[in-house]
Amino acid sequence: MKLIYTIHTGTSNNSNLFCGYRNAEELLDSLLLSSFTSGKHFESCELYCDSRFENIIKEDGRQFPFTKIIPCLDELDNWLFEKNWAYAKVYVYSLQNGPFVHLDCDAIICDGLPPALLDKKFIFQQKEMLYKEAFGFYTSAYKEAKRLGLLSVKHNDIPDYAMNMGLFACLDKNYLPLVKEYATLILLYLKNQQHNYDKIYFKNEQPMLFEQLFIMNVLFDNGLKEDDDFATFISDDNKNTFLPLYRYAHFFRAIKRSEIVTQAIKKELWSLGLAKI
């Protein structure tokens, strides 16, 4: 099985130029630690990116553990709004022709996937329940999309929960068509959005809406069931049941930019002999 990453820096005026990090150095440090630590548990490790980032990683000079670097995302710059950065990941999911685990560059799997999850068709990081106040943005963004007529008729009802995709795995090649269906659903949504983008208030919530919520539409529409067919790495109550054995970290949103995290990553790279001199 292979581990894959996606880095889409986009155009030079893109506010997501460094994938939420303050600069290229912090992004590269995180990607190096994640791929070096996590990649040891997989047969191969691939990076999908744009040509801009391909040059950035070459200029860095360190040896990243990628068996392949595939610069295939430049085309997205021609039409993808910067607030919709998550589509690059979904597009990369759809390119796969065999089982894969996709990991965000700010996430780390220290000890591989738990054996108890390896018989599932899909694995996600964790559930995000829409009735909890912290995840109310899903409902707000979904209602707005419905009001603007952006949703397909088939997916006009909101699921009960979304999935955090810091980690996403499709472990059964027979279900790769569902991944492609999911990517097509999102592409159609974004194409519909092009004429309404200025009217959308919940622009910052769009990536979580279409990446993390729409996947549940597809799974449920195709009769897949939780526990039988898909599972989460982290339990529903946000306590990682596998954490003591299969240490997993996801430095999402502002956490990745904190001095505590960036310095801890540098310290770990020094200990591994991977720090930039």
Is 42 domain-assigned?
yes
Give yes or no for residue 16 having a pLDDT over 70.
Answer: no
Spatial distance between the Cα atoms of 217 and 105, rounded to a whole number of angstroms: 26
CB atoms inside a 10 Å sphere around CB 93? 23
| 129, burial (CB in 10 Å: exposed 0-12, middle 13-18, buried 19+) | middle
Tell me the mean pLDDT in the region 64-82: 92
Is 277 domain-assigned?
no
Is 264 domain-assigned?
yes
Spatial distance between the Cα atoms of 61 and 27, rounded to a whole number of angstroms: 14
Q: Average model confidence (pLDDT) for the chain? A: 89
Tell me the CATH number at 237: 3.90.550
Tell me the mean pLDDT in the region 244-267: 80
Give yes or no for residue 31 having a pLDDT over 90.
Answer: yes
Give yes or no for residue 245 having a pLDDT over 90.
Answer: no
CB atoms inside a 10 Å sphere around CB 255? 13
- The secondary structure element, H or E, covering residue 213 is none
For residue 25, the model assigns a pLDDT of: 92
Q: Give, as one character, the DSSP assignment of residue 155.
A: G
Is 211 domain-assigned?
yes
Give yes or no for residue 237 having a pLDDT over 80.
Answer: no
- C-alpha torsion 27→253→151→135, nearest 10: 160
Paired tokens of 74: 């430049």
Domain count, the chain: 1
Chain centroid to Cα 102, Å, comes to: 7
Q: Rounded to the nearest 5 degrees, what angle is found at the Cα of 106, between the Cα atoms of 102 and 110?
A: 75
For residue 253, the model assigns a pLDDT of: 74
Spatial distance between the Cα atoms of 150 and 136, rounded to a whole number of angstroms: 19
Is 276 domain-assigned?
no
| Total-model pTM | 0.93
Is 197 domain-assigned?
yes
- 13: confidence class by pLDDT, cuts 50, 70, 90: very low
> Contact at 8 Å (CB) between 206 and 200?
yes
Name the more confident of 185 and 239. 185
Q: What percent of the chain has pLDDT over 90?
A: 70
Spatial distance between the Cα atoms of 19 and 161, rounded to a whole number of angstroms: 25
The strand pairing partners of 127, in sequence order, are 163
**Which residues have CB under 8 Å from 168's CB, separation 6+?**
93, 101, 102, 122, 123, 124, 125
Q: Rounded to the nearest 5 degrees, what angle is found at the Cα of 254, between the Cα atoms of 251 and 260?
A: 65
Q: What percent of the chain has pLDDT over 70?
A: 93
Give yes or no for residue 67 having a pLDDT over 50.
Answer: yes
Tell me the mean pLDDT in the region 40-63: 95
Domain that holds residue 167: 2-271
Name the more confident of 18 and 225. 225
Place of tokens 């067919």: 229
For residue 17, the model assigns a pLDDT of: 67
Q: At residue 254, what is the residue type?
A: A
Tell me the mean pLDDT in the region 131-150: 93
Q: DSSP letters of 168-194?
A: EEE--GGGHHHHHHHHHHHHHHHHHHT
- 30: confidence class by pLDDT, cuts 50, 70, 90: very high
